[in-house]
Amino acid sequence: MIGQMMDFQLTINSVMRHGRSLYGNQEIVSVTSDNPLHRYTFEEAFGRVCQVAGVLADMGLNAGDRVGTLAWNDYRHFEIYYAVSCSELVTHTINPRLFPEQLDFVVNHAEDRVIFVDPTLLPALEAIKDKLTKVERIIVMTSEEHMPDSSLALECYETLLAGRPTEFTFPEFDEKTASSLCYTSGTTGDPKGVLYSHRSTVLHAMGGAVPSVFGLTTDDIILPIVPMFHVNAWAIPYAAVMSGTKLVFPGPKMGDGAAIADLINAEKVTVSAGVPTVWLAMLNHLRETKQTVETLTRIIVGGAACPQAIMEEMEQAHGVYVHHAWGMTEMSPLGTFNTIKPELSDLPADEKMAYRLKQGLPPYGVELDVFDEEGNAQPHDGTSFGSLRVRGPWIASGYFKLDKEIIDENGYMDTGDVAVIDEHGYMQITDRAKDVIKTGGEWISSIDLENAAIGHPGVAEACVIGIHHPKWDERPLMLVIAAGEQPSKEELNAYMSDKVAKWWLPDDIIFVQELPHTATGKLDKKVLRTQYKGYKLPTA
């Protein structure tokens, strides 16, 4: 028997209607490249969304066409997010940190017909202009007086919007309609496009907004430092509108610790989200200037493992609670979020910290498990490793225009991460599948080894890769960027020896000036594995 409830479509349009009609007075504040602090209300924002929709309607685009954005986190990017998706078009957020070859690959693969670009990111587009096959119009996100000179034919965002009506009749469509597209650079091959739907986006934002996850309220003020060009800024542009939460956008200042701290204090931000490097930059600034962030109560740290040092300093020096989170582009991205369950709340601080450093619990909407190579689910004992597989309504079932099966017979997608799950359900990433070092049939976690080295004051960054070894198959090689005075190899090994098993210690340590990173800031081990292929370890 089918239930007798309305077949109400979960579209981003419904999020917009809700936010505009209920929280019209709530603010959106942003730093942009042409304004140090722009401020307006949800009502004004959605009025301008209608104006952008009018511009798009005049362009003669067809339902499902892709519209690219090459932009920072700011109010114009927010307007485009809503205007494009709600017009039954697809917002393709382009990562400006991609290398030029990847940039033209993604723009051409997506077949973007229009690109909205921040003036500061125009050079990236100019560099690939001869390779763009489908782009018909380039709109610069600024006003007429700030229009840059360029060899490209450009149109001005503000001029296109001027004088247009602030109401628009958006089309009605199925909730499974594609809403946005984000490419993941991955570790091998060309970037792959993840095509989100209205339904997945709405459910993901609802799943993230609930009290046991972001817990957004109308009293919160949220600063998404996670970029809008990478996995929808972790749903914050939607979850904040659903929850009536004031939004503060950092614009191009995302990596600037001083600017972030000033923005938090000036706008009384209560909650924020970003990758560890952002928080390290802010903590350095606060330490040097002996300042604090008064109003900030909690932050969400994800995208890479959250170091214990960030958690401790945030809490002890600034009273900010740190939630560790994990996810991936294919998961919209929310996969787990760390909160302490009631049965663990009375543990001594160090034992609780061990739980808090784990990637966390899946929210409702995500099911996950770990499997061995034969596909057997591993026990949830906190020690049994396995490949981490996930399923749920905001998880990709394939890649854009790619004929590749990514779902197994049980409906799971393999994340490429290796993890353990403990008896309380906390998931902990122990490695990337492709990064795992298997030595004599046993696993070494390169991440744990890197973390052990990073605790040493003479180490700024460490990266471990597996090198072929005649006896053990693979042994770890550690590459280190020194901080200040370079420690000796012996000193570093001695330092790590009580933090990891003896047999984990790297067979060699090489000090380097720099390490390659992917466009999303992760260590690019693919490059390093190629570079050090054939390297002869002293133990070989």
Q: Among all residues, which ones are annotated catalytic?
A: 184, 330, 438, 443
**Residue 279: φ, ψ to 5°:** -75, -35
**Residue 213: φ, ψ to 5°:** -120, -115
**Can residue 333 be called a binding residue for ligand AMP (CB under 6 A)?**
yes
Q: Min. distance of Cβ 229 from ligand AMP in angstroms?
A: 12
Identify whether the C-beta of residue 114 lies closer than 8 Å to the C-beta of residue 137.
Answer: yes
**Can residue 305 be called a binding residue for ligand AMP (CB under 6 A)?**
yes
Per-residue binder mask for ligand AMP (CB under 6 A), 501-530, x = binder: -------------------x----------
**Can residue 204 be called a binding residue for ligand AMP (CB under 6 A)?**
no
User: With CB under 6 A, what is the number of residues at the site for ligand AMP?
Assistant: 18
Distances (CA, A) of 4 to 10, 11, 136, 174, 221: 17, 20, 46, 19, 38
Q: Min. distance of Cβ 22 from ligand AMP in angstroms?
A: 32
Of the candidate residues 192, 323, 432, 456, the single one contacting ligand AMP (CB under 6 A): 432
**Can residue 161 be called a binding residue for ligand AMP (CB under 6 A)?**
no
Which residues are CB-neighbours of 224 under 8 A, at least 6 positions away?
73, 233, 234, 236, 237, 247, 249, 272, 273
Tokens at 95, concatenated: 């990562």
| One-letter-per-residue 3-state SS of 226-290 | CCCCCHHHHHHHHHHHHHCCEEEECECCCCCHHHHHHHHHHHCCCEEEECHHHHHHHHHHHHHHC
Positions in 441-480 near ligand AMP (CB under 6 A): none
Pairing mode, if any, of strands 437-439 and 427-432?
A: unpaired
**Can residue 419 be called a binding residue for ligand AMP (CB under 6 A)?**
no
Q: Min. distance of Cβ 119 from ligand AMP in angstroms?
A: 27
- The residue among 33 and 451 lying less far from ligand AMP, judged by its C-beta, is 451
**Can residue 120 be called a binding residue for ligand AMP (CB under 6 A)?**
no
Q: Min. distance of Cβ 432 from ligand AMP in angstroms?
A: 5
Of the candidate residues 74, 267, 417, 448, the single one contacting ligand AMP (CB under 6 A): 417
Tokens at 76, concatenated: 């114009």
Per-residue binder mask for ligand AMP (CB under 6 A), 21-50, x = binder: ------------------------------
Among the listed residues 77, 30, 80, 89, the one whose alpha carbon sits nearest the alpha carbon of residue 52? 80
**Can residue 329 be called a binding residue for ligand AMP (CB under 6 A)?**
yes
- The residue among 54 and 193 lying less far from ligand AMP, judged by its C-beta, is 193
**Residue 523: φ, ψ to 5°:** -60, 130
> Which one of the spans 125-133, 259-267, 322-330, 346-354 is the region binding ligand AMP (CB under 6 A)?
322-330
Of the candidate residues 244, 257, 302, 476, the single one contacting ligand AMP (CB under 6 A): 302
Among the listed residues 101, 252, 186, the one whose alpha carbon sits nearest the alpha carbon of residue 518? 186
CA 339 to CA 495: how far, in whole Å? Answer: 31
- The residue among 26 and 520 lying less far from ligand AMP, judged by its C-beta, is 520
Per-residue binder mask for ligand AMP (CB under 6 A), 175-194, x = binder: ---------x----------
> Which one of the spans 30-38, 171-179, 249-257, 411-419 is the region binding ligand AMP (CB under 6 A)?
411-419
Bond from prior residue into 363 cis (ω within 30 degrees of 0): no
Identify whether the C-beta of residue 100 lies closer than 8 Å to the C-beta of residue 83.
Answer: no
Of the candidate residues 429, 467, 477, 492, the single one contacting ligand AMP (CB under 6 A): 429
CA 505 to CA 448: how far, in whole Å? Answer: 11
Binding site for ligand AMP (CB under 6 A): 184, 302-305, 324, 326-329, 333, 359, 415-417, 429, 432, 520
